[in-house]
Structure 1
Amino acid sequence: MDNKVFDEKEMRFHTRKWVKPEDLNPNQSLFGGRLLQWIDEEAALYAIIQLENTHVVTKFISEINFIASPRQGDIIEIGIVATRFGNTSLTLRCEVRNKITHEPILTIDRMVFVNLDKEGKPTPHGKTAITFVAERLLKSS
């Protein structure tokens, strides 16, 4: 069944972005679409690394809660944590915060990514827990 839930690990903030003039909306704050682009890319990379497969797609993104509006010059960081491993899917949670103040900017409770075969069909990934590249390298040595 597609519902292997595990104890949530600590949120890890891997990516930092500097809000530049080209990222702003007419209100002179970060354009929400740009932030969502950064989040989707970071989450997809996280899923690809966890599932060890470059054929991964975004299936679902739950409610997006914009809490604050970053301004030009702010440094933000994107945090991702896996919350569920399904048979063919991986569910993530995302938080974005100001790097300097740690004030929250955005939360997304669920982002679901699906593992695909080379023909683009959902395929089991066989993963049940978060692993890190360093751990994988140690196991293969």
Structure 2
Amino acid sequence: MRFHTRKWIKPQDLNPNRTLFGGRLLEWIDEECALYSIVQLENSKCVTKYMSEIDFKSSAHEGDIVEIGIEVVKFGTASLTLKCEVRNKMTRESIITIDKIVMVSLDAHGKPKPHGKTEVEFVKDRLK
């Protein structure tokens, strides 16, 4: 799994228990998956269709640095299925895992748009 983004846990990210608010973490994951899908599918109109069971494994605290990892599971006709893990950057302890996140490429009318992709591409390879 490749870890793409790091987040520093700040006071505004905490819940009343003084640990990372799960909703904030899911917001970060959703944004990261959208950005990843937009780059992979070369379409700025990608949306989240589905997230499987969310497994919170540990907490994060103010001052912690977490990193978000994403891995492609499958390319569909108009979709990209990802899995995600968020872990503590310093301890490598897993904070959350999501086994299946389905992102869909849309056309100008908001309908699924076939993307024609079958494997992960790196931007540096597109520039050759």
Please identify runs of 4+ aligned residues in structure 1 that moved more than 2 A. none
- In the alignment, residue 118 of structure 2 is paired with which amino acid? T
Q: Deviations over 1:78-112 (max 9, x none)?
A: 00011100001100000000001111000000000
- Any idea what SS the aligned residue of 1:17 has? strand
Corresponding residue for residue 52 of structure 1: 42
Deviation at 1:12, TM superposition (A): 0.6
Deviation at 1:123, TM superposition (A): 1.1
Task: Report the RMSD for the aligned CA atoms in angstroms.
Answer: 0.4
- Unpaired runs of 5+ residues, structure 1, are 1-10
Question: Pick from 91, 95, 100: which aligns with 2:81?
Answer: 91
Corresponding residue for residue 115 of structure 1: 105
Corresponding residue for residue 13 of structure 1: 3
Deviation at 1:50, TM superposition (A): 0.4
Asked if 1:77 is matched to 2:77, the reply is no
How many residues are aligned here?
128
| Distance across 1 between alignment mates of 2:16 and 2:79 | 37
Corresponding residue for residue 7 of structure 1: none
Asked if 1:129 is matched to 2:119, the reply is yes
- In the alignment, residue 127 of structure 1 is paired with which amino acid? K
- Any idea what SS the aligned residue of 1:34 has? helix
TM-score normalised to the size of structure 2? 0.99
Deviation at 1:72, TM superposition (A): 0.4
Give percent identity, aligned residues only.
66
Corresponding residue for residue 15 of structure 2: 25
